Structure 1
Amino acid sequence: MSILVTGARGHVGRAVLDALIAAGQDVRAASRDATTLDVPDGVAKVSADLEDPSTLDAALDGVSAVFLYARPSGIEGFVKAAEAAGVRHVVLLSSGVTLEPQSAQSRLATLHRTVEQALIAAPFGETLLHPGAFAVNVLGWRKDIAAGVVRTAYPDSRVGAIHEQDMGDVAAKILADGSHVGEALPLSGPSAISFREQAEVLADVLGRPLRVEEEPPERAAERMAAALGWPPGVPQEVLRAWERTTREPSVVTDVVREVTGHAPRTFRQWAEDHRADFS
């Protein structure tokens, strides 16, 4: 039986795929258009679009476990197809936003919770991953960094930035051994680090000076919406969370170590791993 990794072109999906391959698992990479996937020789590629149920039966044939991104549109069709295929376990990349104090009023949390609830109600097992801030989001600074400046709202917001490979390692371990079924796991990096400190680490790793410039939240929201294509209101939700963590740093957990046996990677490790992305 194979393990299907959806969203294999994404940073986390590819990290899951690489970790499963390294562990010697029979793995299948999926994307909306499999022809766009660049995977190692011998790894099967399939097209799978949650919004097009006709693509799911073939993608799930012979699959025992699935790594899934949280996409509300089409989740009902996925559950039906997975049940019919005999899938036993789904590991969902959800979001730590569902754990925030104001999550009941959060559009972003509602979108993730819709997928969570569909999987919880499904006849197969599920594991929900709740990462906080992704270190890889710093790639959004590349143009600014090329100009020697990091522009961000709330530069002293302290977040538990997590390396995508740590998320990949956690998901791969759970998919491979079928553990943590029915659990929701909050994931973070090893410590809460501010955006200002992240810029300092990047300056050191890249060997170039970087100035931190605080921008108004309204401008930051506009830039986030343009760069990430988030629905209206979501950038403002994220910015409110950032403002709160200037006063109350994000919660840091040791779940990465508990699941994988290794310590979570530091932000410096992430910066060194992605040095070439800023050249």
Structure 2
Amino acid sequence: MTVLVTGATGHVGRAVVGSLVAAGQDVRASSRDAAKLDVPDGVAKVSADLEDASTLEPALDGVSAAFLYTRPQGIGAFVKAAEAAGVRHVVLLSSAATLEPDAAHSRIALLHRAVEDALAAGSFASTALNPGAFATNTLGWRADVAEGVVRTAYPDSWIGAIHERDIADVAARILIDGSHDGESLALTGPEPISFREQAEVLADVLGRPLRVEELTKEQAVERMLALGWPSGVPESVLGAWARTVQEPSPVTDVVREVTGNAPRTFRQWAEEHRADFS
């Protein structure tokens, strides 16, 4: 069985490749420019652009299952190409926003829901992975951490930050065994942790103090847009953060249920990524 991993230059995509390789699978990694892919020996590399239908047929040729990142543009062409290639199962990296009560009014939820719905209408099995906060979002603090500070809105927002390798392990298991067809799986870390607590853990791991500076909502939106977040998405994310100041984001045990292993803690993530902050 050959498994295609799209977006293999990203944090989660790279981790999915690693999990599949560790499980002994035949893996094909893709990105818009295959030359930029850094993958383990034995992993095939292919250029594939979800917005360029002409690249999809060769990328999917001989593929039994595929890991897909959310990109509404071109999803129709991907579904057609996957059906034509005989793909049996697609696992999508979606968002917890699609599971929220206000999903119909959330820009980020609507973007992800469009892809979820397109895959669900395909002739193949599909599973949506719906993580909330990514531990890797903390990498956006790197410039501030170099100054000895963490700047964020709602520092006391409690989120279930999840390690990218837990998302990858869940994705790999489902891609291999074909389970959870038609399901949306809410993925979280093992416990709610506030941004202030994340800063404390990071300071301890790095061995240097970090003060927390609270940003206004307007300042946070400006910074997020400067980092490349799509228009309208920062407001949706900040709204979720505001809600979890008083009521922590719920955590799930889905990672353990699917993989048999407890989800990794934020401290584990920080220790593994220590060099990223040096």
TM-score normalised over the length of structure 2? 0.99
Other-structure match for 1:121? 121
Other-structure match for 1:249? 248
Task: Output the CA distance in 2 between the equivalents of 1:48 and 1:77.
Answer: 12
Task: Output the CA distance in 1 between the equivalents of 2:7 and 2:231.
Answer: 24
Aligned length: 278
Equivalent runs, 1:1-279 vs 2, <5 Å: 1-227=1-227, 229-279=228-278
C-alpha displacement of 1:47: 0.6
SS at match of 1:127: strand
- Report the AA paired with residue 265 of structure 2: T
C-alpha displacement of 1:40: 1.5
C-alpha displacement of 1:189: 0.1
C-alpha displacement of 1:95: 0.2
Q: Provide the identity percentage.
A: 75
TM-score normalised over the length of structure 1? 0.99
Task: Output the CA distance in 1 between the equivalents of 2:258 and 2:28.
Answer: 23
Q: What are the superposed Cα offsets for residues 110-149 of structure 1, whole Å, 9 maximum, x if unpaired? A: 0100000001110000011000100000000001001000
Task: Output the CA distance in 2 between the equivalents of 1:207 and 1:92.
Answer: 37
C-alpha displacement of 1:101: 2.2
Structure 2 residue runs without a partner (length 5+): none
Task: Output the CA distance in 2 between the equivalents of 1:139 and 1:255.
Answer: 25
C-alpha displacement of 1:234: 1.3
Q: What are the superposed Cα offsets for residues 72-91 of structure 1, whole Å, 9 maximum, x if unpaired? A: 00000000000000000000
Task: Output the CA distance in 1 between the equivalents of 2:274 and 2:23.
Answer: 26
Task: Output the CA distance in 2 between the equivalents of 1:102 and 1:139.
Answer: 28
CA RMSD of aligned residues (A): 0.6
Task: Output the CA distance in 2 between the equivalents of 1:200 and 1:117.
Answer: 40
Task: Output the CA distance in 1 between the equivalents of 2:82 and 2:96.
Answer: 25
Task: Output the CA distance in 1 between the equivalents of 2:184 and 2:266.
Answer: 24
Task: Output the CA distance in 1 between the equivalents of 2:268 and 2:229.
Answer: 28
Structure 1 residue runs without a partner (length 5+): none
Q: What are the superposed Cα offsets for residues 220-252 of structure 1, whole Å, 9 maximum, x if unpaired? A: 11001101x222221111111100000111110
After the TM superposition, which parts of structure 1 deviate over 3 Å for at least 4 consecutive aligned residues? none
Task: Output the CA distance in 2 between the equivalents of 1:151 and 1:201.
Answer: 15
SS at match of 1:186: strand
